[in-house]
Amino acid sequence: MTIPAEFGLEGHSDADVLAHAITDAILGAAALGDIGAHFPDSDPRWRDAGSLRFLKHARELAEAKGWRIVNADSTVILERPKLKDYRESIRASLAAALGLELESVSLKFKTAERVGPVGEGLSAEAQAIVLLARP
Ligand code: C5P
Ligand code: MG
């Protein structure tokens, strides 16, 4: 989804820090390495890739190892714009990609309180924790 803002993030793919963090959390919980190993930015296959594709692919890799995702919690750290009006639609997109109910997908936002590169509006960060279980 497109969120109106005076600037955006640049990246090899779509620079979706939130989807990337959750993707890395899935890979991490399943001990499957990291996002850079699975989706190298040198690989033209992933150029301009929609990050929900990374997310779905990581989920499939974990499922192929016998894991199922129980829930996901995440935080976007961004000075502006405010994201809270988009929380439910972003959660719905993530839930669909993760194959989860809405209530199993948590999404939080915070500013960096004007401190550091994120606080100066130069960058954004995302953190994610994913619980996996073997059915
Ligand atoms: O970090 P801070 O205390 O300023 O966040 C206050 C509220 O603003 C939080 O509840 C958070 O959900 C929201 N927020 C937001 N978009 C951001 C940063 C914070 O909607 N980029
Ligand atoms: Mg605060």
Q: What is the CATH number of the domain that holds 32?
A: 3.30.1330.50
Ligand lying closest to the C-alpha of residue 109: 1
User: Is the predicted pLDDT of residue 29 greater than 90, yes or no?
Assistant: yes
pLDDT bucket at 22, cuts 50 / 70 / 90? very high
Strands 125-133, 68-77: pairing is antiparallel
Ligand lying closest to the C-alpha of residue 111: 1
Expressed as residue numbers, the domain containing 53 is: 17-133
Domain count, the chain: 1
pLDDT for 41 equals 78
Write down the mean pLDDT value for the chain: 94
Residue 8 within a domain: no
Residue 6 within a domain: no
Task: Note the pLDDT tens digit of each residue in 31-60.
Answer: 999 999 999 878 887 777 789 999 999 999
Instruction: State whether the Cα torsion 118-114-108-71 is positive or negative.
Output: positive
Structure-block tokens of residue 96: 């669909």
Structure-block tokens of residue 71: 């829930």
Model confidence, pTM: 0.95
Q: What is the dihedral of CA 101, 104, 109, 110, to 10 degrees?
A: 180
pLDDT for 129 equals 98
Pocket lined around ligand 1, Cβ cut-off 6 Å: 78, 82-84, 109-111
Residue 10 within a domain: no
User: Is the predicted pLDDT of residue 72 greater than 90, yes or no?
Assistant: yes
pLDDT for 40 equals 86
| Mean pLDDT on 108-134 | 97
Instruction: Give the three-state DSSP class for 104.
Output: helix
DSSP state letters, 51-82: HHHHHHHHHHHHHHTT-EEEEEEEEEE-SSS-
Using most ligand atoms within 8 A of CB, pick from 18, 109, 113, 125 the residue to mutate for ligand 1: 109
Residue 74 within a domain: yes
Instruction: Give the three-state DSSP class for 132.
Output: strand
